[in-house]
């Protein structure tokens, strides 16, 4: 039996960073003797151009049958003019696969504090896991589109909060034992439900974990002021989208940040947190680290293979500490040169 990966390169820098992640996955799979099969499918803007649908039926069928889905990125100015949007395909993919928990680890590579835009002492020891709710909230509420009036409803049910909060508390057990739940309970009804359900679950099942609640505006500030204070950060869909971009840059660049989107099945979706970066696409300049570390998460979460995951993570750390890296982290490698170097380190 081999693990089947539905491979969706997507748009912009998506194909560039996804190719790097695929090459590193193949190298790690060979080294640890794990049989993998990659199968390519159209997704996003390129699928709109070819098939008139950002998430065509053939792609959907393959994603539902796969052991894991790997995505580069989608979107770009070409599809911003109205009509079908690549991003709608991504939301449908997450919803179709029931991937309600988006895990975004954000960690400064020890010794690499110089990559951070923060002063080195503040960047030191940053190591957090953002757990972002991914299939509810304002992204999926009732929507009214219009030129005179428009609305986006934000809704959450108790069950939607419980299942993602449980993932955050469980993750904290294997880390430093602290969860920061972020909401806007001073204004929003959904946030008041969020906070009370998180408190209930904490009291019932996770009282050994330290829990704090922080309002989202203050969180935006605290992330800059003292990012090392956070362990697991639990939040709803849109707050998590925004705060994870902010936190990623504290570790050096958005190009470094991976993600895993998980539900109740073993199969997950793996993608870097960044977008299609149209400003650098096509120039072999993109940082592939977020995509490569997403592949490591795929081995760990969907294939129960911790050894190749750790080997990939170690190779990335070694490459960065030896001075390799792309321009966004102040180094001079191309995307493909950096990826080749990581592959060479892996097969050592
Ligand atoms: P973006 O993340 O694509 O880019 C933001 C900035 O970060 C740009 O300056 C870009 O050059 C830089 N950047 C991003 N990834 C990088 C990498 N790997 N290496 C080096 N630099 C990198 O965000 P945006 O510009 O707001 O969005 C562009 C498009 O991507 C939009 O269409 C948006 O909807 C889409 N998007 C897709 C995803 C996804 O597919 N998961 C995520 C975010 C945005
Ligand atoms: C992300 C992206 C997506 C989101 C967009 C492209 C739909 O920004 O994965 O963070 O908002 O979830
Ligand atoms: Mn985002």
- Residue 198, domain CATH: 3.40.718.10
323 and 50 Cβ atoms separated by less than 8 Å: no
Same domain, 230 and 262: no
Same domain flag for 83 and 122: no
**242 and 151, same structural domain?**
yes
Q: Is 76 in the pocket of ligand 1 (CB under 6 A)?
A: yes
In a domain, 106, yes or no: no
- For the whole model, what pTM was predicted? 0.98
Is 90 domain-assigned? yes
pLDDT band at 69 (very low <50, low <70, confident <90, very high): very high
Q: Kindly state whether residue 316 falls inside one of the protein's structural domains.
A: yes
Q: How many domains does the chain have?
A: 2
Q: Catalytic site residue 217? A: yes
Residues 6+ positions from 260 with CB-CB distance below 8 Å? 102, 103, 268, 269, 270, 294, 297, 298, 301
Beta bridge pairs of residue 183: 215
In terms of domains, do 341 and 320 share one?
yes
Residues 10 and 78 in one domain: yes
Provide the CB-side half-sphere exposure for 255 (13 A, CA): 27
Tens digit of pLDDT for each residue in 213-256?
A: 999 999 999 999 999 999 999 999 999 999 999 999 999 999 99
Give residue 242 CA to ligand 3 midpoint distance, Å: 6
The span from the first CA to the last CA of the chain, in angstroms, equals 27
Q: Is residue 107 part of a domain?
A: no
Average confidence (pLDDT) over 68-97: 97
CA distances from 340 to 59, 72, 257, 261 (A): 29, 18, 19, 27
Tell which of 221, 251, 281 closes a domain: 251
Domain that holds residue 39: 1-99+254-348
Q: Is the CB of residue 71 below 6 angstroms from any atom belonging to ligand 2?
A: no
pLDDT at 130 over 90: yes
Question: What's the DSSP call for residue 326?
Answer: B
Whether 168 and 236 map to the same domain: the answer is: yes
- Across residues 55-71, what is the average pLDDT? 98
176, 246: one domain: yes
Average pLDDT over residues 253-273: 98
**50 and 122 co-located in one domain:** no
Look at residue 56 and tell me whether its pLDDT is greater than 90. Answer: yes
Res. 348: pLDDT tops 90:
no
Q: Which ligand is nearest to the CA of 135?
A: 2
> Are 217 and 265 within one domain?
no
Q: Which atom of ligand 1 is nearest to the CA of 279?
A: 11
**Would you state the pLDDT for residue 1?**
86
Average pLDDT over residues 281-288: 98
Residue spans of beta strands (DSSP E) within the chain: 3-10, 36-40, 68-73, 101-107, 127-133, 143-144, 151-152, 178-183, 210-215, 232-235, 260-262, 268-270
Does 298 map to a domain? yes
Ligand 1 center to 174 CA (angstroms): 31
Q: Are residues 258 and 244 in the same domain?
A: no
d(CA 114, CA 118): 8
Within 10 angstroms of residue 145's Cβ, the number of other Cβ atoms is: 8
pLDDT band at 82 (very low <50, low <70, confident <90, very high): confident
Residue-wise pLDDT tens digits, 135-192: 999 999 999 999 999 999 999 999 999 999 999 999 999 999 999 999 999 999 999 9
Q: Which of 191, 223, 251 delimits the end of a domain?
A: 251
Q: Let me know: does 102 contact 132? Beta carbons within 8 Å.
A: yes
In terms of domains, do 266 and 207 share one? Answer: no
130 Cβ contact list (under 8 Å, min separation 6): 102, 103, 104, 105, 106, 232, 233, 235, 240, 243, 244, 247
Q: Are residues 216 and 148 in the same domain?
A: yes
Q: What is the pLDDT of residues 313-344, one digit of tens each?
A: 999 999 999 999 999 999 999 999 999 999 99
- What is residue 298's predicted lDDT score, i.e. its pLDDT? 98
In a domain, 110, yes or no: no
């Amino acid at each position: 039996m081999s693990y089947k990966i539905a491979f969706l390169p997507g748009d912009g820098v998506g194909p560039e960073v996804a190719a790097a992640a695929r090459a590193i996955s193949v190298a790690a799979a060979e080294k640890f003797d794990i049989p993998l099969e990659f199968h390519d499918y159209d997704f996003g803007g390129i699928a709109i151009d070819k098939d008139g649908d950002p998430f065509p039926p053939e792609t959907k069928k393959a994603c539902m049958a796969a052991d894991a889905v790997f995505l580069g990125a989608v979107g770009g100015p070409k599809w911003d003019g109205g009509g079908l949007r690549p991003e709608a395909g991504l939301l449908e993919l997450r919803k179709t696969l029931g991937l309600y928990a988006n895990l975004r680890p954000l960690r400064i590579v020890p010794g690499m504090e110089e990559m951070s835009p923060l002063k080195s002492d503040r960047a030191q020891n940053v190591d957090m896991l953002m757990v972002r709710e991914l299939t509810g909230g304002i992204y999926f509420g009732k929507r009214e589109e219009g030129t005179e009036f428009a609305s986006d409803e934000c809704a959450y049910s108790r069950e939607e909060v419980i299942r993602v909060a449980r993932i955050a508390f469980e993750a904290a057990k294997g880390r430093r034992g602290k969860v920061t739940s972020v909401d806007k309970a001073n204004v929003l009804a959904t946030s008041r439900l969020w906070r009370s359900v998180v408190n209930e679950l904490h009291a019932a099942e996770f009282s050994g974990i330290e829990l704090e609640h922080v309002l989202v505006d203050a969180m935006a500030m605290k992330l800059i002021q003292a990012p090392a204070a956070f362990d697991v950060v639990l939040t709803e869909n849109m707050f998590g989208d925004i705060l994870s971009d902010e936190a990623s840059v504290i570790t050096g660049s958005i190009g470094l940040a991976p993600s895993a989107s998980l539900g109740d099945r073993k199969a997950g979706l793996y993608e870097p947190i960044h977008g299609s970066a149209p400003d650098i696409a096509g120039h072999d300049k993109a940082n592939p680290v977020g995509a490569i570390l997403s592949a490591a998460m795929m081995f760990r979460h969907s294939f129960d293979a911790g050894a190749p995951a750790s080997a990939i993570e170690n190779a990335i750390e070694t490459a960065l500490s030896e001075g390799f890296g792309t321009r966004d982290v102040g180094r001079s490698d191309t995307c493909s040169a950096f990826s080749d170097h990581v592959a060479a380190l892996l097969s050592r």
